[in-house]
Structure 1
């Protein structure tokens, strides 16, 4: 089994670090790593359009996100919060931030039960390929959050509110309603956890963020069939820049080549053999799993 598709320093997207630790990739794109996960800020601080927050990190991230937003955008509230999915490390601060800013939270309709306090995600898989993060995964929160006063469903025409020229793409597998964001004009992909650019199963890799091309985090991916389709579709887009939920942003031909290799050999590279969901995916409403309990 091939576990790694290594990337080099030359594959990393150039960034400029702000005083608060935010990494600026382009005039309208920046991100901040909050412990083990990336939060993305879309919007040009010098432009006329409002800004958008993409994902909200852990439950301890709210104050850092507000501080970063204040330094980058001043007193301007975001137009929206867009959720790639609602796992605890991406939606940990969404209730606090939505309430603080009083702004809509947009998500895919299949992610709605996890954002309305109705359903918990399927159990984590502690046998999904080893590593301390994997072994500890049954301890991670998987209960839903409740942002019903602010929750909105993403438009069916795939436009993204507050993000002109972007579209959302349904990339399930890691969660039923997982989405990625795509801008065709410069082939920029915000992939969430559909693909990530570091090993998330190892605590060392999660901290050091060695650049590698990976499928979604194994311990929290209940449907590998859908995950494989999602990776294949993202590879077909031929992205020039990839900003993922975990790991450093990557760019260029070698990153695309590694993404194509991941898509072509997905089961050998990404799927944990003998794991809980290897041959028995958990799908919403499926008898025998608690995807909607």
Structure 2
């Protein structure tokens, strides 16, 4: 029981009921009518569950402030990418000519543990891995591996060559190898990736790893690669296509003029032999030498 005194009016006894952490004052019916006549009691507002407009407004403001970002917290595309480095709008690619991948696995594991750029890349593309079916252990944690070894019956050479692509599972779990090609002119493999997040203008990303030997007729090698890329563009015009690999003094500008090349620094010695092409404009991407 709760009692209060008012000058000129008898003592009122109000019973307080606690319902969902709110107090509802319920005086007797005859006393309630008398207080309404003198203007000492207001009708309950059913639309606000017994709360006045001021209390309701403060509660709504608290909810609005709770949704706002924290103070001194940056906004924008770069901040979002920094918060989720494995979910960029466009995939990040690491390209390297390993010259025997088998004896460099420990170094790759070390680089992934100490370098965030290496660890957060969506895909790792390695050329000239020099592997055969006798080497099986090339797995990396949280990465899905795809490889194409050099076929001696097709290439005429048993050693050298070979391609390997790693896809980070934090970026994409739905990945598969579409095709692999090995000949005396060119070696390439195509991986299809449907990541968790991709730019709205693309539905799927296709990563093409390429290796062209230095002692072949490059015009015919580019023609074989062009036929495969042209078929991809015809059947899947809405897909992001990334072509990365070792081209050895050759380029795709003559066959694929609408593709953009991004490597603007030397990769081996004084030459730029490792190239990256995509079917998007250069303003949306950038390249970095690690």
Query: Is the TM-score greater than 0.5?
Result: no
Give the alignment's TM-score, normalised by structure 1. 0.33
User: More relative contact order in 1 or in 2 (CA 8 Å, sep 6+)?
Assistant: 1
Larger strand share, 1 or 2: 2
Q: Which has the larger radius of gyration?
A: 2
- TM-score by length of structure 2 reads 0.33
